[in-house]
A and B are shown apart, each in its own frame.
Chain A
């Protein structure tokens, strides 16, 4: 539709969710440090945001009076508008769009109290703050027709996915379309009910049509749903226990009340989303390989004798070995994009650090050429910073492969999940002292199991095994890991 050009005259400058790292897609507003309508100068901290990795402050890039758009706790895609820097405290640009021109030369615009044309013309992405912009009707129809709404393009205002988009979705969008649209899988809710009643009914699996409406409100209330369930429970209690197999058609009692509910937001939400996406999108498989670490242990003991404070950890040896192996096997130092498999120039190894209620993967840069001393110092710094929530965005950006260790928790082998957009991750097990047969001789050996998960789309089993073999070989010759290597 055509847009009245004058309505786009906005004096204020947009204030957008910054993109603080290569992998940052969205950020959550933790706190506005400047109140609405307050003056800010260039460089003033304006708000603090939380990304999937860090909490950090965002500074003003221009002077002006701040008008906040995003609420505390809300999540926004990088680049989406979360505020405005206006030329005066009184301006209220942004969502109202037209008020900036009120009382000026365009009364017909000022008086148009409909959805603002500015909004319609906006180039906001369909995914706004991580949420797909879709209408209630579209979501209802998508549920009924089993159409994956994420695959659709919206044709409604602001690119919103609307009912027609779902009805016209290509067959690929429907995982299994209902055979007949006239008989939706989800019966349309026709009972009059309050929002709270619907939520509770959804939670408990109660059909609202079976709940008596409140005589005063003349619709089903939350209390009505609760009373309905209490009656059902009482009738179940009262009914004689069936002797045969239980009747599965009988209404089930509600599931046990949860002891605690933790919302999938912040770091937990990011982990949940990324790990699920990783397993959904990639063809992952895992191999395990035994590594002899006797040499590493001996090397480490000697180091400790000499310089106890800088002694590298076992994991540092592994990272060094991994870095060098990646240089030898560039197929593992890659990422899969729409264009194909992209081999990456640099080698940066992410190290998974467990926190009390989550996990961070800070990155050791140029692990292929860094010496053990540098790797050890950096891993120490990153782990401490991660636990103090003091990691900067650059500390976590750009990893090309990851190492995850559960050895300290008695784990021998496991199936680590690739940290996208990498194509591989190495799981490190505990150090074991095994009795082994060396020729005819029974002796003890120190070893560990390496668990390598890789993306089969990027490389096959044999090159993956060869890569893992290189790590094992690197650990067998720890002295070679001590010194930095030249870039090429």
Chain B
């Protein structure tokens, strides 16, 4: 299997291109994705290859963009529609939440919605409060949607392929700061199954649950902690809805400690759900309360001086892990 080193953004692009090559029902629509190739170049070159009817530049009309995808999906196509920034899902919330997520159910199962909504989330570019949010928890709260948030190029290609193939409305969240991240990715089309988490690093002392960019920060923290004798098991959720609770619980039952890390605001974030599931499924295995790392309860600030404090990073993750297990490590090992 041929592998090359390509970026997260290129892996996304390749998944879309290969899907369009193999299935003529697949098309893309969104703002600036055609001639321009998308503001993060994730759709670069696709219009040139597939034409204007299959890679459609739309008006700045998020409701109509998602509606276009819904109407086309329910009548038999396999659309990919792009909302440039994740913040803009709010503009299209009726079409996403009240229409796309519910159509199949409301129609008694007769509708099929193989719709993929792609968007760019996350902070770190001084894009300020309306272009930096991580709103995945809102989406995960809505029955009928699937939500994925890849942390690396390999998963990006496989998860995007799986999203396109899936017969449900899926939301693919690309992290802006990961667009340029490079790794080895197979040339052949492949899919990473939705709803299956990956143990990104095995460990025995504490389970760190994360996804997206924070997964990478968690791995950095785990490296540091390993030098201190703390072995983190880092779980990359990959898919946020449906959540792979089984993998999390299995790990926590082994490590007896859990820390959930995300870039989204901590209050009401996915960490709250995960912590709750852990206490439901592994209460008797916990040696400490489940810790949550997330952004503080404020809009994303503009100034880099503020933003760097807003977004969690490896040192803060490491500190939280030490808080949860440090006492347990000192003088209480050997079993």
Contacts and interface: CB of A to CB of B under 8 A. Distances in A.
Given A107-B309, A136-B286, A163-B256, A115 B327 contact: no
A155 B331 contact: yes
B288 A113 contact: no
A160 interface: yes
A137 interface: yes
B7 to A, nearest CB: 31
Interface stretch (B161-169, B183-191, B194-202, B317-325): B317-325
Interface string B324-335: 101110111111
A135 interface: yes
Contacts of A389: none
B288 A156 contact: yes
The contact size tier of chain A is 20 to 34
B53 interface: no
Contacts of B256: 135, 137, 162-163
B335 A167 contact: yes
A168 B287 contact: no
Interface string A202-236: 00000000000000000000000000000000000
A164 B288 contact: no
Contact of B288 (A111, A117, A162): A162
B293 A113 contact: yes
B153 interface: no
A168 B320 contact: no
A32 B284 CA distance: 34
B294 interface: yes
B242 interface: no
B285 interface: yes
Contact of A162 (B281, B320, B332): B332
A159 B330 CA distance: 12
A115 B335 CA distance: 26
B335 A157 contact: no
Contact of B324 (A111, A115, A136): A115
Nearest to A186: B284
Interface in A103-156: 107-108, 111-115, 117, 120, 135-140, 155-156
A108 B309 CA distance: 7
Nearest to B321: A114
A466 to B, nearest CB: 52
B182 interface: no
A114 B332 contact: no
Contacts of B280: 192, 195
A187 B319 CA distance: 35
Contact of A114 (B291, B309, B310): B291
Contacts of A189: 284
A275 B12 CA distance: 71
A165 interface: yes
A195 B279 CA distance: 10
A164 B328 CA distance: 7
Contacts of A188: 284
B278 to A, nearest CB: 11
Nearest to A135: B287
B328 A112 contact: no
Interface in A153-179: 155-157, 159-160, 162-165, 167-168
Interface string B124-165: 000000000000000000000000000000000000000000
Interface string B272-296: 0000000011011111110111101
Given A113-B296, A135-B287, A136-B284, A157 B309 contact: no
A147 to B, nearest CB: 13
B320 to A, nearest CB: 4
Contact of B334 (A117, A139, A156, A168): A168
A1 B332 CA distance: 14
A112 B316 contact: yes
B288 A112 contact: no
A117 B323 contact: yes
Nearest to A107: B309
A173 to B, nearest CB: 15
User: Which of A115, A140, A195 has most B Cβ within 10 Å?
Assistant: A115
A168 B334 CA distance: 9
A120 B322 CA distance: 10
A165 B333 CA distance: 9
Contacts of A107: 309
Given A135-B256, A137-B256, A163-B256, A114 B330 contact: no
Given A114-B293, A136-B286, 4 more contacts: A114-B316, A137-B284, A155-B327, A168-B334
Interface of A: 1, 107-108, 111-115, 117, 120, 135-140, 155-157, 159-160, 162-165, 167-168, 188-189, 192, 195
Interface of B: 256, 266, 280-281, 283-289, 291-294, 296, 309-310, 316, 319-320, 322-324, 326-328, 330-335
7 A-B pairs with least C-beta separation: A114-B320, A162-B287, A140-B284, A135-B287, A155-B332, A115-B323, A164-B332
5 contacts: A111-B310, A120-B326, A136-B285, A162-B287, A195-B280
